[in-house]
A = this chain, B = another copy of it.
Amino acid sequence: MRKNIKTEGQSNRTDSADLGFGRVVSEESHLRLINKDGSFNVNRKGLSFFTSLSIYHSLLTMEWWKFIGLASLGYLVLNIFFALVYLIFEPGAIHGEQAATFFEKFLRAFFFSVQTSSTIGYGHIFPESISANLIVASESFVGLLGFAVVTGLVFARFSRPNAKIMFSENAVIAPYRDITAFEFRIVNARKNQIIELQAQLIFSKMEKDGSRIIRRYYRLDLERDRVPFFPLTWTIVHPIDENSPLKNIVQDELIRSQAEFLILLTGTDDTFNQTVHSRFSYRADEIVFGAKFSNIFEYGEDGHHITVDVGCLSDIEKV
């Protein structure tokens, strides 16, 4: 990490293109770059129709109830489709209960299709004509393949990294040895363990560049940029020393310059040993000056565990 910083040149000022945000120029932007959920506040247009649909990506990232709803809908449509196909070959395609009206025939065909695509096959309804038998052959294949796809998707959803790091609501400018420091606090919001956690902190603000006002990015040095274990909390600290771009800064100036602190965390999820990432950002109005984080540790009542109260993650006290 540190080494990277050095290779970026003597100065740690880097222009906007450096962060993959491109050279966006504006005097009016009050947009935040990273949303509270870690997504980027950007759009890409000009992508082809299929690319922008992005079915696979959506199927993986949508919520479970939507995924299950969509799968049910697919099952319904599949069976209605095949029910209609069976009806085309009536009369005599399907042998089963008496069906007088079209609706009764459709229902019979629909239920037959359900029993076929799900491979139940009770047999009180069964295919009689050759055409019906051929449709059964197709439907059984479609059913099996569809089921293979759903199983594949279910597992693909399961195998996605499951980490969730919770950030304190505010960052603080707190006393730190003889100076001050920019600090925020994080905790693991899941039951899994995260190890070898690394942090990058980038400070971004609008600056005059000749006649234009452009957004500039500064990488902030951390007191410590990685921890081997992360069972409790980690307070990430940027000491505001002589070389810090935050030296002597006040809140008004942060707000005027549309400052934003971008955070990228990288760690290893211990359950799957997968690399996990987490993004977050603090805007100028989310920084509290002259405060520090409160203690959130206590010893378990049984005396056998160190306990952290996640609900107090964002608790700060004035200094």
Contacts and interface: CB of A to CB of B under 8 A. Distances in A.
Interface of A: 1-4, 7-8, 14, 17-26, 29, 31, 33, 39-47, 51-52, 54, 56-58, 60-61, 68, 71-72, 75, 79, 95, 107, 110-111, 114-116, 118-127, 130, 133, 136-137, 140-141, 143-145, 147-162, 187-193, 195-197, 200, 202, 224-235, 262, 264, 266, 268, 270-277, 279, 295-297, 299-300, 303-313
A122 B145 CA distance: 20
Contacts of A51: 189-191
Contact of A47 (B195, B226, B306, B310): B310
A111 B140 contact: no
**Of listed A1, A54, A155, residue having the most chain B CB within 10 A:** A155
A57 to B, nearest CB: 5
6 contacts: A24-B232, A41-B304, A41-B306, A118-B140, A152-B155, A161-B273
A272 to B, nearest CB: 6
Chain A contact residues: over half helix, strand or loop, or mixed? mixed
Given A45-B307, A123-B121, A159-B156, A20 B229 contact: yes
Pairs of residues from A and B, 4 with the lowest C-beta to C-beta distance, nearest first: A46-B311, A123-B123, A120-B121, A118-B140
B20 A230 contact: yes
A154 B201 CA distance: 39
A137 B79 contact: yes
A72 B146 CA distance: 13
A26 B307 CA distance: 13
Contacts of A234: 17, 20, 22
A56 B133 contact: no
B4 A226 contact: yes
B189 A47 contact: yes
A95 B271 CA distance: 49
A310 B44 contact: yes
A29 B191 contact: no
Given A61-B271, A115-B136, A121-B122, A235 B309 contact: no
Given A72-B141, A224-B8, A111 B127 contact: yes
